[in-house]
Amino acid sequence: MSQELKNDRYLRALMRQPVDRTPIWMMRQAGRYLPEYRQVRSQAGDFLSLCKNAELACEVTLQPLRRFPLDAAILFSDILTIPDAMGLGLYFEQGEGPRFKNPIRDAKAVAALPVPDPEDELGYVMNAVKTIRKALNGDVPLIGFSGSPWTLATYMVEGGSTKNFSIVKSLMYREPKVMHQLLDKLAQSVTSYLNAQIANGAQAVMIFDTWGGVLSPRDYQEFSLRYMQQIVDGLVREADGRKVPVTLFTKNGGQWLDIMAATGCDALGVDWTTDLATARKLTGGKVALQGNMDPSVLYAAPERIREEVKTILASYGQGPGHVFNLGHGIHPEVDPAHAEAFIKAVHEFSPSYHK
């Protein structure tokens, strides 16, 4: 799999090594804001069919890179592939988001859950990773990813998206032991899933803890961070003679960045509710930081977008260890020309921070 990377700026930044400018990629950069994505999506028939077709998943992964000078590609997939492979019957309801036919509600259901073999039940993801890595031809690195155990558990127990997390939290408080059994199984599954992505060509991995921020500080440590720690401890950290960096991202988790940095990960994603200067102070230079523009800024005029980029660069300050990104995924309604203005601004203003 070894091939020379023409642009390793993103990997260097994650390792806090010097770069000539701040690298940039966008969460959900392959997605609905691009007309060419919508075309391929309709060709695939539905979202899951798109994820399961390696050629089409590769095509949509590469689309943003054809348009914009980004520093990384991210595997096109979904965080719910693992619960789907566990037999929960994932489907997508129009306008409702993901749903499961067989949600997990008790100890018996947890005990019956298999730990999926990533090369078998999730083989379609590995095919996509291999196909994309080959097609990238060393232009930029490929990021693999997974949802965190807690975030996956919220969907599995609730049976889909939720606003108040009442079912999953009542299970957590009433039967913590059952919750821990579920999270442990998910941590094992995520570890083997990410290691398989690395074996098939992912050059960095990211764990999305989208719903960790709905927990109290004590519960966050017990039910979310503990299992991300388990994954970090079990990951392969080198491939192709190069370190494979690991990024953790807890949305609304700015107050926990110090304990997240102590897991031994290489980088932390930061959302827009935390100032990067604060994040840098909290983490004491232990990790790189990724973020953190509010995706809604992309609705603004290009001049306003440029101002925001300047503010965020100044907030992080001088030196390596910053990957520019949005604080969460790009919204489907964003004009691609505004995404382009954002990327150009990072290219224009960031070199002075790396002198």
Q: What is the DSSP string of 120-168?
A: TTTHHHHHHHHHHHHHHTTSS-EEEEEE-HHHHHHHHHHTB--SS-HHH
d(CA 197, CA 204): 9
Instruction: Using alpha carbons, select from 150, 132, 151, 152 the residue that is nearest to residue 142.
Output: 132
Domain count, the chain: 1
Whether 83 and 100 have beta carbons less than 8 Å apart is answered as: yes
Give tens-digit pLDDT for 107-116: 999 999 999 9
Report the C-alpha gap between 80 and 111 in whole angstroms. Answer: 19
Residue 100 pLDDT greater than 80, yes or no: yes
- Residue 97's pLDDT is 86
Does some domain include residue 247?
yes
For residue 249, pLDDT beyond 60: yes
Max CA pair span of the chain: 59
Q: Which residue numbers belong to the known binding site?
A: 28-32, 78, 155, 210, 328
Give me the pLDDT at residue 2, please: 58
Does a structural domain hold residue 312?
Answer: no
Quickly state the pLDDT bin for 238 (edges 50, 70, 90).
very high
Nearest partner of 120 among 56, 192, 203, 227, judged by Cα: 192
Smallest Cα–Cα separation from 226: which of 285, 180, 169?
A: 180
pLDDT of residue 208: 98
Q: Is the pLDDT confidence value at 246 over 90?
A: yes
The answer to whether the CB of 186 falls within 8 A of the CB of 114 is no
Q: Measuring CA to CA, which residue among 316, 306, 285 is closest to residue 349? A: 306
Residue 95 lies in a domain: yes
Q: Which two tokens stand for residue 188?
A: 């094992």
Residue 35 has pLDDT above 60, yes or no: yes
The answer as to whether 77 is a domain residue is yes
Mean per-residue pLDDT for 232-255? Answer: 97
Active site residues: 28, 32, 41, 78, 155
Q: What is the 3-state secondary structure (H, E, C) of 216-251?
A: CHHHHHHHHHHHHHHHHHHCCCEECCEECCEEEEEC
Instruction: Report pLDDT digits (tens) over 293-338.
Output: 999 999 999 999 999 999 999 999 999 999 999 999 999 999 999 9
Per-residue pLDDT, 283: 98
- Summarize the confidence of residues 33-52 as an average pLDDT: 95
pLDDT score, position 353:
98
270 phi/psi in degrees, rounded to 5: -125, 130
Distances (CA, A) of 79 to 69, 93, 339: 26, 16, 24
The mean pLDDT value for 206-234 works out to 98
What does the alpha-carbon distance between residue 168 and residue 153 come to, in Å, rounded to a whole number?
A: 8
- Domain assignment present for residue 1? The answer is no
User: What is the per-residue pLDDT for 93?
Assistant: 77
Let me know if residue 24 belongs to a domain: yes
Mean pLDDT of all residues in 255-261: 98
Please check whether residue 112 lies inside any domain of the structure.
yes
Please report, in range form, the residues annotated as the binding site for substrate. 28-32, 78, 155, 210, 328
pLDDT of residue 38: 96
Asked whether the predicted pLDDT for residue 94 surpasses 90, the reply is no
Residue 247 is part of a domain; what is its CATH number?
3.20.20.210
Predicted pLDDT at 4: 86
Contacts of 149 (CB under 8 A, 6+ apart): 182, 183, 184, 186, 187, 190, 224, 227, 228, 231
Rounded mean pLDDT of 64-69?
98
In eight-state DSSP terms, residue 274 is S
The answer on pLDDT for 75 being more than 60 is yes
Identify the pLDDT of residue 198: 98
Q: Is the peptide bond before 164 cis (omega within 30 degrees of 0)?
A: no
Torsion of the alpha carbons at 89, 184, 176 and 261, rounded to the nearest 10: -110
Q: Are 292 and 26 in contact (CB under 8 A)?
A: no
- What is the extent of the structural domain holding 35? 9-291+318-332
* Overall average pLDDT of the 247-265 stretch: 98
Find the mean pLDDT for residues 241-262: 97
Closest CA to 353 of 306, 305, 326, 320: 320
As a whole number, mean pLDDT of residues 203-214 equals 98
Whether pLDDT at 66 is above 80: yes
Asked whether residue 311 is domain-assigned, the answer is: no
Instruction: Please give the pLDDT value at position 1.
Output: 53
Any idea how long the chain is?
355
Mean per-residue pLDDT over the chain, rounded: 97
pLDDT digits (tens, 9 = 90+) for 132-161: 999 999 999 999 999 999 999 999 999 999
Q: What is the pTM of this model?
A: 0.97
pLDDT of 33 above 70: yes
